[in-house]
Amino acid sequence: MNPSLEDLAAVQHEIWAHWMKYLFEVSDLNADGSVNIPADKVRRWKQQILTEYKDLSPKEKESDLEQGKKVMSLIMLEKKKTI
């Protein structure tokens, strides 16, 4: 049995929530509840958007691998259930 679309969506939501938590932690909260992302973070993330995974630094790759492990864990768990 393969992971369901719902299972994969739940993992994707977890990954997104993790990212948003980090984004809010590094951003400046304004009085009206909006946030400002520091310019250095914007520059860095814009550069990362333009960079292929294979060209990322080892530290950047590790961050992506940690998120990928969440999806892989779900796939492996479902695979074990079929054995």
Query: For residue 1, is pLDDT > 60?
Result: no
Q: Please tell me the pTM assigned to this model.
A: 0.76
| Integer Cα distance of 21 and 35 in angstroms | 12
Domain count, the chain: 1
Can you give the chain as a three-state secondary structure string? CCCCHHHHHHHHHHHHHHHHHHHHHHCEECCCCCEECCHHHHHHHHHHHCCCHHHCCHHHHHHHHHHHHHHHHHHHHHHHHCC
Q: What is the pLDDT of residue 83?
A: 62
User: What's the domain range around 20?
Assistant: 5-81
Q: What is the pLDDT of residue 16?
A: 95
Position 3 pLDDT exceeds 80: no
* Predicted confidence band of residue 81 (pLDDT cuts 50, 70, 90): confident
